[in-house]
Amino acid sequence: MRADGVEIRRGVRRSSLAGLGWRRMAQWGSVYGPEWFVRLSPPLIGLVICFLAPRPRRRVFKNLRLVRGVRDPWRDGLDVLRTFAVYASCLAETLSSSAMGARMPAVEARGEEHIDEALRGGRGAVIVTAHTAGWEVVASCLLRQRGVPVMIVEEAESDPATASIQDAARCAHGVAVVHVGDDPLSALAIVRHLRTGGIVALQVDRVRKGMRAIAVTLFGVPEMVPIGPAKISMLTGAPIVPLFASRVGFRRYEVDVGAPVRLVRGASEAEVAGAMQGIAGALEGFVRRHPTQWFHFRGE
């Protein structure tokens, strides 16, 4: 079962607790529940999910050890719980922000001038981010202030009905969503969007099966990241801008924006590798500062 990448296996069908039913319940409570409910209930729900999801729980524990090294198990255990609690709060705030008249998150950005620098050439921008706190709504709030259309690109979910709930929340903010999968034509919409000066946002901390990837060093160990951002940048001339969001309070977020990375058409393998290593370094630096806000739940 899944809830934005969380897999739960408890001897029940994949579509029950954390799939469509979970997402609908989260949407209903977030959109129609009172403010105190949206503030207080998600962390408790996140703790329940943590206890019912052994594989994602182990993944988060390993992530914390990878990022920070070996610490006292009880301290890592508390931070595993904190990760699930923050994840649930971010999901609730994302869904609730799509309601009519909802209060939008407050966003404080560091390095915001890098976005303007990237857009100055009129070729759009490729925003690279990760599965971090509220990234889709926070990024759209920050980027749409510039009057530039935003498109989110992400992996196609196995259950379209489940994906549609969160996509509806994104579209409520005027953000287009493209799901990439086995259809090679899905990339055409991305290229067209950039060539009109738009912004494309995609995540680089997961590599799905069959996706083209490149080797980098992440947290001191070899890792693979998608090579798509580099290929798109080379094809369209759009700069790559690292952007990562963290939650600092109820409906309050901070965003770290990195300097644009530029790749020309025909860039060498070494130049592409250097660009993607720089992006991996930006991700590593952010996660080291906010280890409990990296929602990388997949894998063992």
Q: Give tens-digit pLDDT for 158-188.
A: 555 555 655 565 565 567 777 776 555 567 8
| pLDDT at 188 (0 to 100) | 83
**pLDDT, average across residues 47-73:** 92
99 pLDDT above the threshold of 70 = no
CA neighbours within 13 Å on the CB side: how many for 142? 29
Q: Dmax over Cα atoms in the chain, in whole Å?
A: 54
**pLDDT, average across residues 15-27:** 52
Of 47, 30, 131, 133, nearest to 85 (Cα)? 47
| pLDDT at 229 (0 to 100) | 93
Domains of the chain: 2-96 (no CATH), 106-293 (3.40.1010.10)
Q: Read off the pTM.
A: 0.83
In the predicted model, what is the mean pLDDT of the chain?
Answer: 81
Is the CB of residue 152 less than 8 Å from the CB of residue 243? no
**pLDDT, average across residues 4-25:** 44
| pLDDT at 164 (0 to 100) | 60
Percent of the chain having pLDDT more than 70? 77
| pLDDT at 14 (0 to 100) | 38
| pLDDT at 141 (0 to 100) | 73
Encode pLDDT of 115-131 as tens digits: 999 999 889 999 999 99
| pLDDT at 176 (0 to 100) | 77
Say which range, 43-57, 67-81, 164-178, has the weakest mean pLDDT: 164-178
Strand partners, 7: 2
d(CA 45, CA 28): 14
108 pLDDT above the threshold of 60 = yes
Alpha-helical (H) ranges within 107-218 are 113-119, 135-144, 160-171, 186-195
Is the CB of residue 70 less than 8 Å from the CB of residue 215? no
**pLDDT, average across residues 60-89:** 93
Is the CB of residue 229 less than 8 Å from the CB of residue 202? yes
| pLDDT at 294 (0 to 100) | 95
Say which range, 47-56, 59-68, 178-187, 230-239, has the weakest mean pLDDT: 178-187
| pLDDT at 36 (0 to 100) | 82
| pLDDT at 39 (0 to 100) | 86
| pLDDT at 31 (0 to 100) | 62
**pLDDT, average across residues 233-250:** 94
